Amino acid sequence: MVDSAGDSDVSWVMYRDRPEWKDLIPCPENDGPNPVVVIAHSEKFEDVYDYFRAILRKNEMSERALHLTTDALELNPANYTVWQYRRDLLRELNIDLRMELDYVENVIKQSSKNYQVWHHRRVVVDWLQDPSRELELTGDALIQDPKNYHAWQHRQWAIKTFFLYDKEMSFVEELINEDVRNNSAWNQRYFLMNNHDGWSDLNVQREICYTLGKIKFVKNNESAWNYLRGVLFHDKRGLSGNAVVTNFCEELYKNKCRSPYLLAFIVDACDEAIKKDDTSCFHNVDRAIDLCQALAGKYDKFRSKYWNYMCERFKKYQISMKPCSENNVDNNVT
């Protein structure tokens, strides 16, 4: 509950002291006879919401009711009931919705992680069928917090609803260049590929090359490794069959890279190859066991139980499978 306005505003006049509100009897909050926790609201907060409940009960559609919702939202911008009543007032009174966008933008600047204000914004934009301000608004919010979920959600809605894809990839690449670990930006890239560019073989290979370049720059970057998995989901060769990816991983491994994300990727590639009965010197059960043991004991101890479980799974595979040729490269983890 937000009660930021307090009682410090000396120019504030209580609703109970305003002549134009004398016709309305305030409706105090009713917590029942034995409230478990009584919230200590300011006098101003109680005054505003007593009158809001009164006007809500009356279902009054008036300019003064709209102004009252503004005061109520200043005190608690996350109150769903106030936002819904405000939307009813906007439609009933035929209010200029572009002025409402200005108002909502100001609220977002003060409360950018508030779901209700973003939802209200979406409704108003949908009524207007005008998304011309949304990319700039969400872009500004993401400058303040690149991982603001509500801003990303609103941005994706606007892009998908109004087909605003043209410059989005450039925006995403700028964010990734600024912070290669920005998982939200990687997610947005996948959103663009999934909903606009598509997963043609050419696009898949392009995305693989782009992602490998970012991994080479920062090898211990979970976001990029996860994106690579997502891209390879659209490659008919899978995790284990793309020679570019396999060679890249082997090169990292030979150069002593022991990122847990690299090792986990190789384990999953081994698992996929084993299930397809398509094992090789790179993707085989012995190597998977060695890597799982290394992850559990040294490189990813936090998930040791998972890696021990995977190790036991591979040992069961081992019983029914022929060992790799004696000419295999030494795949022991060092």
Catalytic site residue 305? no
Q: If you write DSSP's letter for every residue of 128-195 in order, what string do you get? A: HT--TTHHHHHHHHHHH-TT-HHHHHHHHHHHHHHT--TTHHHHHHHHHHH-TT-HHHHHHHHHHIII
- Residues 44 and 89: their CA atoms lie apart, in Å, by 23
Question: Identity (one letter) of the amino acid at 110?
Answer: Q
Instruction: Please identify which of the residues 58, 109, 113, 305 carries the catalytic annotation.
Output: 113
Residue 275 half-sphere exposure, CB side, CA atoms within 13 Å? 11
Q: If you write DSSP's letter for every residue of 253-318 in order, what string do you get? A: HHTT---HHHHHHHHHHHHHHHHTT---SSS-HHHHHHHHHHIIIII-GGGHHHHHHHHHHHHHHH
CB 242 within 8 Å of CB 287: no
- Residues 57 and 73: their CA atoms lie apart, in Å, by 18
CB 192 within 8 Å of CB 166: no
For residue 232 the two structure tokens come to: 């390879």
For residue 317 the two structure tokens come to: 């595979």
For residue 75, how far is the Cα from the chain centroid?
Answer: 27
- Catalytic machinery residues: 113
